[in-house]
Structure 1
Amino acid sequence: MGLSRAYRLATMAVLLSVMAACGGQGARPAPSASPPVSPSSSPAPTEAALVPPAADPIAALPANLRPRVPRFAPPPPATKVTLPTNGTAAWLSRIPTDQKVAFITIDDGWDKNPLALKLFQAANVPITLFLEVNAISDNPAYFAQLRTAGATIQNHTISHPVLKGRSYAFQKHEICGGADQLAKLYGDRPTLFRPPGGAHDTTTLRAAHDCGMKAAFFWKEATNKGKVFYQEEHVVKPGDIILMHFRPRFVDDFLAVLNAIHQAGLTPARLEDYIP
């Protein structure tokens, strides 16, 4: 066989193999200035390559806030607390657990910072909102948006009165009324309660129970103007409940709480998951 005929036959074989690899449609690979890389030497796609930067919720924050949002591991499976059986709601300032978790709770609802939704999405942690009906009545949709980022809504009365020392009827009206109105606004009736200022008495816990509240809560740490205030040691402990408010410096407060939890080696968990 002459050299020219052999060369033509080899060329035809290569063309046929390319057509077969392309499904027999005659498609040709795009020209390339560099030789192809074999599959065995191709680098694995990185997370950045798989997820465009715009899909990262932290990237949606202002640039000065992005480094201040810590990353957390998922919380462990919850261990349920034991509730009273004497006709009163439980009273808790810390969840009795050795698990490395803490609980973020935010009260009232007066100041509605437009960055809250993006912060919640970027942090991607469980948060419990104890909402006062009067405080949210001008814009209940704001808190419905926060629910889409994983927040849950619980009860903080209608008008934020000091309950301690008031009559059973008064306390029951504020607690039941708050739960009922939040149910109308958001579809789910709260089962957890925080008395305004934490002030309560045995009547409060009885009225809360009669209104369907399983537990009422105090706190171990609180934050204001970007500072965390501790009742005990200068560190968040496993099971601690942390108090925030919807205040003008909401962004600083929220970031301070996240970083206090992170520095303690804990991760935020959902308060509701620990209540039977």
Structure 2
Amino acid sequence: MSSPASGPISARPISARSTSAGPRSARPASARAAAVTSLLLALLLSGCSGSSGGGKGSAPASPAPRTDTAASPSASSARESAPDAAAYRRWGLDKPLAVPPAPPSAKLTDGLKPGAAPKVIRHVPTNEKVVFLTFDDGAEKDPEFVKMTRDLKLPFTMFLTDDIARAGTGYGYFEQLRGEGNRNTINNHTLSHPNLRTLSADAQRREICGQQDVLEKRYGGKPPLFRPPYGNYNDATLAAAGGCGVKALLLWEVTMQINDMRYAQGDKLRPGDIVLAHFRGPSELKGATMTKMVANMLRSIERQGFTVARLEDYV
């Protein structure tokens, strides 16, 4: 596969923040009756309930913990429904991945004007030890992978090529992979998977906008993310993608291999890495299944102290 042709965007590092309240102190049993009587009298006089206020000099109420998940209900539900250890063991994994941290309140594409050239992103700026999984094309439609992702509640992003995705059982397979609350989104990877740099501006527009139209008719909206085949693009690609409603052009710096991963920089994962994988089966994996390949990848991610987060919560 050709190397993608652009540098990463720059942004301030993202980190999650939380607060917690300390334990309440217990009252002696002998004071309970007096306390109840005093409380009832105070309620009658003040006309309110549930108040923790006091006179002058009392401490203000503690602020609620910061949770950036309000802007992303799907991320919240994904964390609340984290899989158990038994689900991971069924797929040959020792233990579940760590629950991802709360996502940032602002995304990388916030403020992008309609029709503007999309942001080119190959790496997500963050200090959290999270990586993002992406799967391309759509050739292999392994029903066991559907079971695996449901069991593991695995977040990932799909980039589908129309003539590849339509083959066999078609788009229905990928709809099964969307998960709870459409956690895993389906995005644009062109109509026919050409090297876009070899095409005219009009031909590029047909490839990109054509797949936007296909996905809009099927899912009710144009996907905001696009990945150019082979990672190849030029200025005409960016112009076409922006005109078709794309907000971000997604590249990568890590690729999934049969037994592990390959890195564009160094020999290990970095916070915010985007991992490129494909829907592939035994004929392309030297006899290995897609579920085996993904299990190997997840084992490596966990061994390096990382977990998997939802890309759409950051981009």
TM range (shorter): 0.7 to 0.9
| Equivalent residues in 2 for 1:12-23, closer than 5 Å | none
Aligned residues: CA RMSD: 2.3
CA contact (8 A) 1:69 1:123 kept: no
Q: Which has the larger radius of gyration?
A: 1
Partner residue of 1:71 out of 94, 97, 108: 97
1:256 partner amino acid? N
Q: Secondary structure at the match of 2:98?
A: coil
Q: Secondary structure at the match of 2:237?
A: helix
Q: Which runs of 5+ in 2 are unaligned?
A: 1-82, 282-288
1:156 partner amino acid? H
TM norm structure 2: 0.64
Q: Does residue 121 of structure 2 align to residue 92 of structure 1?
A: yes
* Alpha-carbon distance change, 80 to 146 in structure 1, aligned in 2, over 3 angstroms: same
What is the match of residue 118 of structure 1? 147
Displacement of 1:184 after TM fit?
Answer: 1.8
What is the match of residue 255 of structure 1? 295
Q: 2:252 & 2:107 partners in 1: Cα distance?
A: 18
TM norm structure 1: 0.72
1:215 partner amino acid? A
Q: 1:58 & 1:179 partners in 2: Cα distance?
A: 39
The number of residues matched between the two structures is 219
CA contact (8 A) 2:136 2:189 kept: yes
1:135 partner amino acid? I
What is the match of residue 196 of structure 1? 229
| Deviation digits for residues 224-251 of structure 1 (CA, Å, limit 9, x no counterpart) | 3233111112211111100000001321
Displacement of 1:111 after TM fit?
Answer: 0.7
| Deviation digits for residues 99-151 of structure 1 (CA, Å, limit 9, x no counterpart) | 22111000000111111111111221311000111111132111111113532
Partner residue of 1:80 out of 107, 121, 130: 107
Q: Does residue 261 of structure 2 align to residue 228 of structure 1?
A: yes
What is the match of residue 219 of structure 2? 186
Q: 1:88 & 1:62 partners in 2: Cα distance?
A: 44
* Alpha-carbon distance change, 123 to 268 in structure 1, aligned in 2, over 3 angstroms: same
CA contact (8 A) 2:130 2:271 kept: yes
* Alpha-carbon distance change, 93 to 159 in structure 1, aligned in 2, over 3 angstroms: same
Q: Which runs of 5+ in 1 are unaligned?
A: 1-55
Q: 1:179 & 1:125 partners in 2: Cα distance?
A: 25
Displacement of 1:208 after TM fit?
Answer: 0.8
Partner residue of 2:312 out of 253, 257, 272: 272
Q: 2:153 & 2:87 partners in 1: Cα distance?
A: 13
Q: 2:266 & 2:96 partners in 1: Cα distance?
A: 22
| Deviation digits for residues 31-73 of structure 1 (CA, Å, limit 9, x no counterpart) | xxxxxxxxxxxxxxxxxxxxxxxxx78757895x243563321
Q: Secondary structure at the match of 1:117?
A: helix
Partner residue of 2:177 out of 146, 151, 157: 146
What is the match of residue 191 of structure 2? 158
Q: 2:92 & 2:139 partners in 1: Cα distance?
A: 25
Partner residue of 1:242 out of 259, 275, 280: 275
What is the match of residue 173 of structure 1? 206
Taking only the aligned residue pairs, the percentage that are identical comes to: 38
